[in-house]
Structure 1
C-alpha cells in the first residue's frame, strides 16, 4: 500500500488502481480497505480507485485524540494526491463521512455516491441510545473490545442479541475487535442522526450530482433515510439495487459498480431508478 500524511501527521495507507477520474472509497464502521477490495477491482475498469484504511484501521496510524474533522482532512489529503478533485463513494456510516467531506471540501468533490447511510429518522426501528458513544469508549478503556463490537452490533446495527454468539465464531469478528476503538469514531460522525428525528436541514451544503443507493431487500430505515436525504440535496437521486441488502459492498461489488457507472452515463433528475443485477 502507498501512504500519505494527513494534516495532523497521521499516516493514511491506500491502494491505488485503474485509470481515469479518481474515486475514493470510504469504508463503513468496523471495516477497512479489504472489505471494498472487490468493489475497487470492479471500479478500476472505469476509474482510478483510491481504497484506503481510515485512521486507526489496517495500515493507517491514529492520533491521540479524535475529531470527525480529522477524517475529512484525511480524505482531503487523498484528493490532493489524486490531483485535487475526486468522486467519493461511502457505505453505511462511511457514506455520512463522505457526505460531510463533500460539504466541507466544496469543489474538490465533484460527484458523490452514498450506499445506505444509516440514518434513523422515524419509528422504523429503535433509535441508537443517547449514550452510545460514551458507552463504547468505556468498553474500550477497559479493554473489552469484543463487548464493544457486540454493543455496536446490537445497539447500532440492530442485530438481535441471540444472533451475536454465532457471529463471534466467524474470523471477521477478531478483525472487528482490532478496529473496535474506531466504532466510537463512526458514532461521532453519525451524531444525532440516529435518534428517530428528521434529518437536519443545515448540516450539509452539497450541490453536486449525488446517487443515494439502497438495496431492494434492505430494511425500511435505509429506504426512508435515502429518500429523506435525496429530498434535502438539490442534485440527488435515489437508486435501488435489485435483490441486494446492506452487505452489497462485499457481496455484490459488480452490481454496485454497475449502478455507479450507470449513474454517470444516464443521469436522471430526482427520480427513483431500479437497477437489476
Structure 2
C-alpha cells in the first residue's frame, strides 16, 4: 500500500492549501464536497492510488487550508488551478458535490489540457433553489453556535435526507467530522442558488467529461448529473446501483472501479 505524503501549496490570493499525495500513474486532483475535508477521501485513496497519483486537498476554510475575508466560486477555481499546477500538465479532475460544481466551473474557464473531468453528483438547482428561503434558518443556527442542530437542519432541508434517517447518520463517523464544518456550508449554499437552473453555459466545456450518480441518491442530485449529460458535449454518465451521495465512503473499491473505468474510456476515445 502506498504511503500518504502531506504537503502544502499556495493559491493565487496567497491562501495556503494543504493536500496529500498518494499513489503512482496519471495525476488525479480530487476536490471534496461541503462539510468535508481531504481526510474523507483516505479510504477511497487506498484503492485509487493503485491506478493514479492522487492529489487530494482541503478546500478553503477547513482542514489545513486557510481562508480569506471574501469568498466566491472564483476562489475555488483559483485553488483548483493551484493544485493542477502541482499535479502537472494534463492532470485529471474529480469533484464531489459542491466540489463537482467547482471543477465544472474550472473546466468552463480554463479547459483541462488533455485531462478528463469527473463530476460526482453536482448539486445544481434543477428542481428549484436548493436552499432558498430556508437558508436563513440554517444561518441562524450557525450564528447561534448550535452546529449540531444546523447539520440536522441542512441534511433534512437541503440534502433532503428523510428525518427518520437522521438518528442512524448521527451514529456514523461522518456526523462528528461534519458538525464543526457547518459554517462553511452557508456561503456554498448561497453560491449554488446563485448559479440558478440554466445549465446552458456548461455547453462551453470541451474537455472529456463523465458524470457519476447513485440510483439511491436525492432526486435533484440524480437529475443534476443526468441533465448535465444532455448539455456538455460528448459527456457520459455512470449510475451506481443502490448508491447514495457517499459511494466513495460506503464502497470505496466499487467507486474506484467507476472512476478508473471512466478515465480508461476517455483515454481510448482521445
The TM-score normalised by the length of structure 2 is: 0.86
Provide the residue aligned with 2:99 in structure 1.
Answer: 94
> In 2 relative to 1, CA 115–56 (structure 1 residues): closer, same or farther, beyond 3 Å?
same
Report deviation, 1:205.
2.2
Asked whether the equivalents of residues 27 and 87 of structure 2 are also in contact (C-alpha less than 8 Å), the reply is yes
Give, in whole Å, the separation in 2 of the partners of 1:236 and 1:207. 9
For residues 233-272 of structure 1, give each alpha carbon's deviation from its aligned partner in whole angstroms, at most 9, with x where no partner exists: 0020121223322220111111121112222323599xxx
Deviation at 1:12, TM superposition (A): 0.9
1:47 paired with 2:52, answer yes
| Contact 2:202-2:228 within 8 A present in 1 as well | no
Could you say which residue in structure 2 is the equivalent of 1:231?
230
Cα-Cα RMSD: 2.5
What aligned pairs does 1:156-167 form with structure 2 within 5 A after superposition? 156-167=158-169
The Cα offsets for residues 100-142 of structure 1, whole Å up to 9 and x where unpaired, read as: 11112224572111112233424xxx75342344544443333
In structure 2, the CA distance between the partners of 1:241 and 1:171, relative to structure 1 (3 Å rule), is closer
Taking a change above 3 Å as real, the CA distance of residues 175 and 235 of structure 1, as seen in their structure-2 partners, is same
1:26 aligns with 2:28: no
Q: What is the distance in 2 between the residues matched to 1:199 and 1:255?
A: 32
Q: CA 1:86 to 1:189, structure 2 compared with 1: closer, same or farther past 3 Å?
A: farther
Specify whether residues 140 and 218 from structure 1 end up closer, same or farther in structure 2 by C-alpha distance, changes over 3 A only.
closer
The structure-2 alpha-carbon separation of the partners of 1:217 and 1:268, relative to structure 1 and needing over 3 Å to count, comes to farther
Instruction: Determine the structure 2 residue equivalent to 1:113.
Output: 118
Return the alpha-carbon distance in structure 1 between the equivalents of residues 125 and 17 of structure 2: 30
After TM superposition, the structure 1 = structure 2 runs for residues 2-81 of structure 1, keeping only pairs within 5 Å, are: 2-81=7-86
Which secondary structure does the structure 1 equivalent of 2:102 belong to? Answer: helix
The one of 177, 180, 187 aligned to 1:178: 180
Instruction: Tell me the TM-score normalised to structure 1 length.
Output: 0.84
Report how many aligned residue pairs link the two structures: 263
Alignment partner, residue 141 of structure 1:
143
After superposition, give the CA deviation of every residue in 1:180-212 in whole Å (9 maximum; x if it has no partner): 11112321342345x7xx443125621111111
What secondary structure, in the 3-state scheme, does the structure 2 residue paired with 1:228 have? helix
